[in-house]
């Protein structure tokens, strides 16, 4: 008499526990993604804070390069206002391209290349780019784990049932895979 009751209890209890554990795992993964996005956002804000100082320093030496400075400033504002990985990704690609063009202008100004303030800002930008890349890798790793859990059977059934949404990777445009040039020579 106890054996059938134990079998019936196990047949009911095990699937319920699986659903609960899978649901909790999906919630934890989703929260890891949100946390990782917060890390990216923090590093991007750090970059945004550096840009006005960098622009002002370069502008002092290369005043006739006004179009580049305006474009960097415009893109910085646009990036600060954009929301979500897909929009942020597109805006960030444009901003980093513009920053690279601005830093390329520096090659024409030997005095600027040796300016202590500029060198410090350039090094901070390079460090920030490294931190953004690390945060991006962490974010994308969490998205990968979440997507795997949402797409693999049988957890995909639970993800679909409870409405776990698709998450996008934060990819880098091929032209900005390199950190901005930090030639101190």
* Contact indicator for 162, 126 with CB cutoff of 8 Å: no
For the stretch 61-116, pLDDT in tens is 887 778 888 899 999 999 999 887 788 888 988 998 888 888 888 888 888 878 88
Tell me the two tokens of residue 35: 């946390």
> Confidence class of residue 175 from pLDDT cuts 50, 70 and 90?
very low
pTM: 0.77
Looking at domain 11-176, its CATH class is mainly alpha
For the stretch 26-54, pLDDT in tens is 999 999 999 999 999 999 999 999 999 88
Domain boundaries, the chain: 11-176
């Amino acid at each position: 008499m106890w054996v059938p009751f134990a079998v019936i209890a196990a047949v009911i209890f095990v699937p319920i526990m699986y659903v609960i554990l899978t649901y909790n795992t999906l919630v934890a993964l989703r929260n890891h993604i949100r946390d990782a996005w917060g890390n990216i956002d923090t590093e991007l804000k750090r970059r945004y804070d550096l840009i006005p100082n960098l622009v002002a320093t370069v502008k002092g030496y290369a005043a006739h390069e006004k179009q580049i400075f305006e474009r960097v400033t415009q893109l910085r504002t646009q990036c600060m206002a954009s929301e979500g990985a897909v929009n942020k990704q597109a805006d960030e690609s444009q901003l980093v391209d513009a920053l690279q063009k601005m830093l390329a202008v520096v090659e024409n100004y030997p005095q600027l290349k040796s300016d202590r303030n500029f060198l410090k800002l350039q090094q901070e930008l390079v460090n920030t780019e490294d931190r953004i890349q690390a945060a991006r890798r962490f974010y994308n790793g969490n998205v990968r784990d979440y997507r795997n859990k949402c797409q693999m059977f049988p957890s995909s059934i639970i993800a679909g049932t409870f409405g776990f949404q698709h998450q996008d990777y934060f990819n880098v445009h091929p032209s900005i895979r390199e950190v901005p040039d930090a030639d101190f020579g």
